[in-house]
Amino acid sequence: MSDIWFDDQEVEHLTPIYSCLKAQKEWQADFDIRPSLDVLDTLVAQAKLEADKFATFDESLNAIIDLFYGDWAFSGTNQSIAESKLNTISYALAYRTGSSFAMAMILDYVLNENEICSEIVVEYGELTVHVRCSEMEGYFIDPVSGHQSWYIKTENGSEEDNSDHYQLIPAEDLIKLFIGHQKWAFISEKRYIDALRCVEMLMEMIGDDPYERRDRGYLLKQLDCHNIARHDFEFFINECPDDPAIELIQYQLDEMDYQHHTFH
């Protein structure tokens, strides 16, 4: 997890959900993080009151899930809402709807704060909340619908049957995933300056990545900063000469050359 945007006093208290909320200020300068943190505190406290009514792990887990998708009414949406809004945790907390990422982050936080060990994983290409009951048993929870899939590994099962078929997203990578989602959402919405800020944030965290340089080049071209865009495109071509996108990148370079000669 990067501490680039945080004060020294904040760093030791960082969680992935706090990092994602704080990052929002990078493209929304007037964003106030406090109301979102207050809502999170309220959700955690209400979940604890509900879970404490039950004696077993399964009952406590189901109580929180029922609260999350029932009383709190978190759900997906079919409305035409900008993806950059649906991705943000503050929006999901305020309107009880959001992308699978935002919903997973909130559910995962509430569960962990109530001592239910959960993690965000990719299962068969979909973002999912995984709750491990033991080494042999657990649940997968769809963050948008709340649908639960229970599994158990058998002692007599084959290695293939008992192998994990999901990929864990490490906590320190969740902020990168969030900013990456926002980058592509902003590009699709033609918010190129905001997308460029996302690229710069990612490069601060992961270094001089050729794919981020490629994306920065594209954005700078859209913003008519052709000289810097050229350097980024050429860097990408040199670093990834076999990438399928090379032909498109070369076309972008040729187009900038044509515009340069036409205007001069």
| DSSP assignment of the chain | ---TTS-HHHHTT--HHHHHHHHGGGT-TT--SHHHHHHHHHHHHHHHHHHTT-SSHHHHHHHHHHIIIIIS--B---S---HHHHT-HHHHHHHSB--HHHHHHHHHHHHHHTT--EEEEEETTEEEEEEESSSSEEEEE-TTT--EEEEE--TTS-HHHHS--EEE--HHHHHHHHHHHHHHHHHHTT-HHHHHHHHHHHHHHH-S-HHHHHHHHHHHHHTT-HHHHHHHHHHHHHH-TT-TTHHHHHHHHHHHHHHHHHH-
46 in a structural domain:
yes
Question: What's the number of CA atoms in the CB half-sphere (13 Å) around residue 127?
Answer: 20
Residues 154 and 226 in one domain: no
CB–CB of 89/36 below 8 Å? yes
Residue 159 confidence (pLDDT): 56
Range of the domain at 249: 208-263
End-to-end CA distance of the chain: 47
Same domain? 164 vs 228:
no
Task: Among 116, 146, 168, identify where a domain stops.
Answer: 168
219 and 89 in a common domain: no
Torsion angle (degrees, nearest 10) of CA 130, 133, 134, 136? -70
Question: What pLDDT, on the 0 to 100 scale, is given for residue 256?
Answer: 80
Whether residue 113 is contained in a domain is answered as yes
For residue 54, the model assigns a pLDDT of 94
- Domain match, 110 and 218 both: no
pLDDT of residue 260: 53
pLDDT of residue 264: 44
85 and 216 part of one domain: no
Question: Longest Cα pair distance anywhere in the chain, in angstroms?
Answer: 77
**Do 53 and 140 fall into the same domain?**
yes
The answer on 227 and 100 residing in a single domain is no
Block mean pLDDT (10 aa), the chain, length 264: 49 78 94 96 97 94 96 92 96 97 98 96 94 89 94 69 78 95 97 97 94 95 91 93 90 74 48
Q: Does residue 61 share a domain with residue 123?
A: yes
pLDDT of residue 133: 87
Q: What is the pTM of this model?
A: 0.88
Angle between helices 210-222 and 226-239 (to 10 degrees): 150
Asked whether 170 and 101 are in contact (CB, 8 A), the reply is no
Distance CA 28, CA 222 (A): 21
User: Given this model, what pLDDT does residue 255 score?
Assistant: 80
Locate tokens 């769809």: which residue?
A: 142
Task: Report how many domains make up the chain.
Answer: 2
Same domain (yes/no): 134, 18: yes
Residue 200 domain flag: no
Query: Does 217 lie in the same domain as 154?
Result: no
CA distance 149 to 126: 14
Residues 228, 116 within the same domain: no
